[in-house]
Structure 1
Amino acid sequence: MKTSMRTLFLAAVCSMFSASLAAATKPEIRTEDVTRFYALYDATGGRPSVEQLDAYLAEGSPSLKEFAQLRRVTGERIARQIEADPAMYENARQCLDVLPAVERRLATALASLSDLYPGADYPPVAIVVGRGRPVGIVNPSGATIGLEALCAADFMNPDPEDRFVYVVAHEYVHTQQAMARDQPEPGDPRATVLRMSLVEGAAEFVSELVSGGVGNARHAEWTRGRELEIESDFLADMQGTDLGPWMFNYHPGSDEPYDLGYWVGYRIVKAYYTQADDKRAALARIIDMEDPEAFLRESGWRPGMSLP
């Protein structure tokens, strides 16, 4: 009887722990700003005025207000984008339909991250509607994703559900990273090609590790067979602060490779993780990285190396 009671007690404790862990790792995706935007959009026949859009921003969540302030989103700019590309705002509704599946898949990914990196925490993700860009911003208090911008970014990944899962997972990693909390702006002497590439490459690698894919699926096809060439060029540029050839260089409508710094940073991080015996310690080192030069030396990476 005692054994039976002990077994039942342990089962109850394990069940409570599992429920607690599931709750802790369940992502909170907030969409109230999207609901308000489309109520206004529908009420105005898809032509909200600048004044109405300014009110949408002013009455928005703290995430929307921060997004607008940091990325110069105004009622006038949203109105101008709606005028220039109305299909972007119509099509964005379709991505709302995939969010429940995205949330389920992210819960599984974050549970994996919690297992590998117990120090992880999960601030909320806010989905908002903006001026067509950027796709998102992130800080320790959470991530904010532009619904219309990410929904239109089929050049990154043609499947909208996969795109949202991998990009949001990528942004979650940024909320954990030591270097992302002290991210210099382009032009700052600290914003070297190496540093910025490792911040983004680490987020890509960890996203793939826990969710199954990277934010930009096209890097693999662009770089296949050109690894040595691309990475040798990176090695020559990595101490400089000219990010133009490597980061944030997508041009709408272009099919040219872009953001190759993300890919090289991913490869450096993967080289480090692959050769590490203690994978949990390696992941903690990746997320807590503060010295890009030291990490590069420890990684064992070299241009053109073969990786699994």
Structure 2
Amino acid sequence: MKNQTIIIIALLAFFSACKNSSKESVRSDNVVTTDVTNFWKAYDQIITTQDSVLQYKYLDSLYLDKGTAGLEGIIEARRYTAEEYINAINAYPKFWNSIRENTLQAGDISTQLQIGIVKLKTIYPELKPAKIYFSIGAFRTPGTTIDSLVLIGSELAMADTNTNTSELPENLSHLKAYFATNPNKNLVFLNIHEYVHTQQKPRVYNLLSSVLYEGVAEFITVKALNQTSPNPQIEFGKNNANRIREVFENEMFYVANFNKWLNGDAPNEFGMRDLGYYVGYQICENYYNQAEDKQAAIKTMIELDYENESEIEAFVQKANYFSATLDALEQNFESKRPTVVGIEQFENKSQNVNPKLKTITIKFSEALDGYRTSVDLGPLGRDAFPNGTLNGRKWAKDKKSWDIPVDLVPNKTYQIYITNNFRTSDNRPLKPYLIEFKTENE
């Protein structure tokens, strides 16, 4: 009841302040939509010609050159290029015609967004100001952030079930399922989720920290707006909680699994993208439910220091989500990884390898998948890496060994770093292994 009273007072104060302002001035406080208007001015000129020089001229002069800090930010964050914009405009006319009206309504939700920000500040009084920019991107994000800027990709975030996807290629096929959730009706939720990101400390790019980073924003938004998440990953996750936890526990220590859990199309057994959002959400919900001081719990979540491993471990441990401690889960993961068991032609660290040797055969503890490989320089750098290693690499029939051709010289120390990109067919990564040896004098 106390929180409801605070929210009502805050909203009354907000609307009172707005009475003496025009509708446009209210929008300009936190929400900027001019990039959307400028995009369509550029679009209308671009489609009048097939002259690519003119098309790029219209894109630059009418859209990119007039871009706000938000457009500059979303281009930087997703590395969009002018070529991508032109290609998308030319390739998907039905899509653009179907999305246009929705995107031009971006300014109409300004007041709702302001109310959402007030609600967020109510549960997190330390909220710092941020600005929301609606722009048009090239299909890589409905929303992201840079520093204190919320960056909305309106071509995705403002889509709905009526958006035409018939022209989109296979690599964008996931958008059909996303548009089926009517993201245009969940803009406040998306914006508050991204607004939370502007309050968080920088993430560390391991899988656990990344799902926590997203889970915090999702859970805090649910609490601030007092509504369930519109994102299907959360409900799906709760309906498949045990299996998702089991699979995540087996995969979270390897960075190559990012695309199975966040922002990628790598296949998984669940047939659902971005289930990392659910994992992070559930950890946060567990933490919140056990906390006596709920507002302190919210503050802790938003202010997590992802660079402080002990802090992250303590948070996760208190949430009691995983079936064992992180140390125990990591040890279990390490115990299941394949290893390099030796080199056929000599023992590692040998000091008298024959410089006339032309092949090094690396032997593994079990069969690998037979196609993912990677070697790198050792600590001694490029000078210690043998020549002639590129052409002629090959797998044994049983996939338990791999040949590397080499061109050696006498009396020299060599290093070859075997990376964890080698994997089993079920995606378990090889433990990295440094080969080091010295050739004998002729």
TM-score range relative to shorter protein:
0.7 to 0.9
Deviations 1:203-239 (A, max 9, x none): 1111111124566521145335421011111122223
When residues 209 and 22 of structure 1 are mapped into structure 2, their CA distance, relative to the original with a 3 A threshold, is farther
Question: 1:287: how far off?
Answer: 0.2
Do structure 1's residue 121 and structure 2's residue 128 form an aligned pair? Answer: yes
Question: 1:266: how far off?
Answer: 0.3
- Counterpart of 2:192 in structure 1 is 169
**C-alpha distance in structure 2 between counterparts of 1:246 and 1:214, whole Å:** 21
Q: CA RMSD in A?
A: 2.9
- Counterpart of 2:151 in structure 1 is 144
- Counterpart of 1:237 in structure 2 is 251
- Counterpart of 1:18 in structure 2 is 13
Maintained 8 Å contact 1:138/1:171? yes
| Alignment equivalent of 2:219, drawn from 205, 223, 226 | 205
| Alignment equivalent of 1:298, drawn from 302, 307, 318 | 318
When residues 99 and 35 of structure 1 are mapped into structure 2, their CA distance, relative to the original with a 3 A threshold, is closer
**C-alpha distance in structure 1 between counterparts of 2:176 and 2:186, whole Å:** 8
Q: Trace 1:223-302 onto structure 2 (pairs within 5 A).
A: 223-242=237-256, 243-250=258-265, 256-290=271-305, 291-302=311-322
SS in structure 2 of the partner of residue 245 of structure 1: helix
Maintained 8 Å contact 2:36/2:104? no
- Counterpart of 1:5 in structure 2 is none
Q: Which amino acid aligns with 1:283?
A: I
Q: Trace 1:209-220 onto structure 2 (pairs within 5 A).
A: 209-213=223-227, 217-220=231-234
Do structure 1's residue 69 and structure 2's residue 76 form an aligned pair? Answer: yes
Highest RCO, 1 vs 2 (Cα 8 Å, sep ≥ 6): 1
Q: Which has the greater radius of gyration? A: 2
- Counterpart of 1:49 in structure 2 is 55
Question: 1:103: how far off?
Answer: 2.6
**C-alpha distance in structure 1 between counterparts of 2:288 and 2:230, whole Å:** 20
**40-49 or 199-208: bigger deviation:** 40-49
Maintained 8 Å contact 2:46/2:58? no
SS in structure 2 of the partner of residue 259 of structure 1: coil
Do structure 1's residue 34 and structure 2's residue 36 form an aligned pair? Answer: yes
Q: TM-score, normalised by structure 1?
A: 0.79
Question: 1:154: how far off?
Answer: 6.3
**C-alpha distance in structure 1 between counterparts of 2:112 and 2:249, whole Å:** 36
Higher strand share: 2
- Counterpart of 1:155 in structure 2 is 177
Deviations 1:19-61 (A, max 9, x none): 49977x9872101111111122224446671232133213311
Question: 1:164: how far off?
Answer: 1.4
**209-218 or 293-302: bigger deviation:** 209-218
Q: Trace 1:174-189 onto structure 2 (pairs within 5 A).
A: 174-178=197-201, 182-184=202-204
When residues 271 and 28 of structure 1 are mapped into structure 2, their CA distance, relative to the original with a 3 A threshold, is same
Maintained 8 Å contact 1:200/1:266? yes
When residues 264 and 39 of structure 1 are mapped into structure 2, their CA distance, relative to the original with a 3 A threshold, is same
Deviations 1:97-139 (A, max 9, x none): 5535533332222222211111002311111112222223202
Q: TM-score, normalised by structure 2?
A: 0.57
- Counterpart of 2:388 in structure 1 is none
**C-alpha distance in structure 2 between counterparts of 1:145 and 1:44, whole Å:** 23
Q: Which amino acid aligns with 2:187?
A: F
Q: Which amino acid aligns with 2:301?
A: I
Q: Which amino acid aligns with 1:155?
A: A
Q: Which amino acid aligns with 1:51?
A: K
Deviations 1:181-206 (A, max 9, x none): x234xxxxxx2211000000111111
**C-alpha distance in structure 2 between counterparts of 1:270 and 1:16, whole Å:** 27
Q: Which amino acid aligns with 2:314?
A: A
**C-alpha distance in structure 2 between counterparts of 1:90 and 1:217, whole Å:** 26
Runs (5+) with no aligned partner, structure 1: 1-13, 185-190, 304-308
Aligned pair count reads 277
**C-alpha distance in structure 1 between counterparts of 2:138 and 2:275, whole Å:** 25
Higher helix share: 1
**C-alpha distance in structure 2 between counterparts of 1:257 and 1:213, whole Å:** 22
- Counterpart of 1:188 in structure 2 is none
Q: Which amino acid aligns with 2:263?
A: F
